[in-house]
Amino acid sequence: MARRIAVVTGGGRGIGAAVAVRLGRDGFAVAVVDLTVDAGAATVAAIEAAGGTAISVGADVRDAEQVEAAVAEVAERLGPPTVLVNNAGILRDNLLFKMTDDDWDSVIGVHLRGAFLMTRAVQRYQTEQRYGRIVNLSSTSALGNRGQSNYATAKAGLQGFTKTLAIELGKFGVTANAIAPGFIETEMTAATAERVGIPFEDFKAGAAAAIPVGRIGQPEDVAAVAAFLVSEEAGFVSGQVIYVAGGPRD
């Protein structure tokens, strides 16, 4: 297999960084896309320190021109990208009656518009190569979560987006799947704890008590599933939503 080129959005930290590092370890050349080149620098350094190949590319995934330029830069510097992990995301949590227009638009913009723009740009290379893997990061919040009507809507939308991509792109050798993490220890979950006024350690302990496997998740748990979904062996898995939550979800 020729070296595959993978693009990971929101790869500067958290789940995105863990996925990027794992793919670099697995032999992919990785383009870490984040708001700025500096935001992805630490992830690139970690991949290179382990002997991998990576570049950092700055782009706001909500901006069509920036996305097109970023993907073109990846193709020029690394080669045609055939693997895309749409991970970029933000939180603007609030109860519905307190939620502002900007709270709604920002979250929908990054998660849904961002995934759409990135996928539209990358699928051009995938269909030309007759091969591709797309992984979209959803969430258990897609099932509904108090204070997250914007986030839950975006994550549920990504699941429908994923299933449609699987139908449209399958004939070109492209699979599309979604990962829906449960409680994962990241800066975003720390921010949620702060929002609800609970010390993060207590927040994590409470979450672990409700998870069948008895612990909270780590970014590497999600990265392991992503690594399978983008592999050659996963070619008959498409249109699926895989909950990485330490227990069953409906």
So which residues are the catalytic ones? 151
Is residue 16 a contact partner of residue 92, using CB atoms and an 8 Å limit? no
Number of helical (H) and strand (E) elements in the chain, helices listed first: 9, 7
Cα–Cα dist 83/15, whole Å: 16
| Tokens 């409680």 -> residue | 183
Enumerate the H helices of the chain as residue ranges. Answer: 14-25, 41-49, 64-77, 101-108, 114-129, 149-169, 187-196, 200-209, 219-229
Q: Residue 206: helix, strand or coil by DSSP?
A: helix
- Find where tokens 């630490």 sit: 42
Which structure tokens are listed for 23? Answer: 């793919």
117 to each of 65, 69, 134, how far by Cα in Å?
9, 11, 13
Cβ distance 211 to 7 under 8 Å?
no
Please name which of 65, 17, 55, 59 lies closest in space to residue 35, comparing C-alpha atoms. 59
Q: Rounded to an integer, what distance in angstroms lies between the CA atom of residue 107 and that of residue 5?
A: 28
